[in-house]
Amino acid sequence: MKVNELLLAALLAAGTSIAHADVTVLTTTAGKASVIDVSGQGTNLIKGNRMRIDSTAGGRAESLIIDIDGRRFVNIDAKKNSATITPLDSISDELAKVGVGTLSATLKKTSQVKKVAGYSCTVHDIGVTVPFSFTGHPGDGMDLNMVLSGTVCLSAEAPGLADYQQFYRASADSGFIFGDPRLLKSPTGAAQAKAYAELTRKMAEAGMALESHVTVSATGSNPMAGMMGKAAASDITTTVTQITVGDLSAEQFDVPAGFKVKTQK
């Protein structure tokens, strides 16, 4: 399972209108992030201020837990009986190094209405532009724009919306990115994380994402633009196939007993 898919799964998870209920959302993903095939299945669990994303692609399975109250990300590798904990505070320097400028995110409602997973949703056009510096020194001639565009079908009637929205409000208030912290090891990954976070905040306010088609590119007038554009290029479709509401055990949102734990500094 590649980290880009985990990021997108976090972005495209679902929830809705029954208050104080745990939510389980099943998804399918098709497409590529750069040259990586991210097609596969996903299970997204929300319990209060915690989310768990279980994803499988290319025969590899991984799990990511976003724990808002604990201010941490937890990557779980069941095959190796290990977990890596990344404190939220430890990634702030990585985000700062990217030199991300002012974000521009748009979410425009269209007249198109469709049904996905048995629930009505309205198609919205989406667009995010993220100015950033590849070197971390804006103005040195190496500035680029990360561009996300596409459509998302948002529902105001699917079960679990209140809990979904509460989770993302708490995430935004706490300064979380919505995805795998390992993405911050690359400049394009960090810029994408910022972009997805801004877009997801807007989407969550309008409803639950039941279906989406997102493309990612990088543009600029300097020599790095072409190379980074190829590295960032993504075309991914995610569709919700089932939503259920019901109690989830707290143990699913923590490191399993007996696992070896490493904490990133």
Cα separation, 25 vs 52, in Å, equals: 11
CATH of range 3-263; options 2.50.20.10, 3.40.50.300, 3.40.120.10, 3.40.50.800: 2.50.20.10
Length of the chain, in residues = 265
How far from 175 is each of 27, 87, 92, CA to CA, in Å? 26, 12, 9
pLDDT band of residue 61 (cuts 50, 70, 90) is confident
Q: Which long-range contacts (CB under 8 A, 24 or more apart) does 106-109 make?
A: 107/152, 107/199, 107/202, 107/203, 107/206, 109/206
Write down the residue that tokens 């724990």 correspond to.
67
Kindly calculate the radius of gyration of the chain based on its CA atoms and give it in whole angstroms: 18
Question: Which among 125, 116, 127 has a CA at the least distance from the CA of 155?
Answer: 116
Cα separation, 215 vs 210, in Å, equals: 17
Cα separation, 160 vs 1, in Å, equals: 27
Average pLDDT in the chain: 80
Cα separation, 143 vs 135, in Å, equals: 8
Contact status, residue 49 vs residue 67, Cβ threshold 8 Å? yes
Q: How many CA atoms lie within 13 A of 124 on its CB side?
A: 25
In this structure, of 41-50, 185-194, 228-237, the range with the lowest mean pLDDT score is 185-194
In this structure, of 96-110, 178-192, 245-259, the range with the lowest mean pLDDT score is 178-192
Query: 188 CB contacts (<8 Å, ≥6 apart)?
Result: 146, 218, 228, 231, 232
pLDDT of residue 12: 47
- pLDDT beyond 90 at 83: yes
Q: Per-residue pLDDT averaged across 212-219, rounded? A: 87
Cα separation, 116 vs 150, in Å, equals: 17
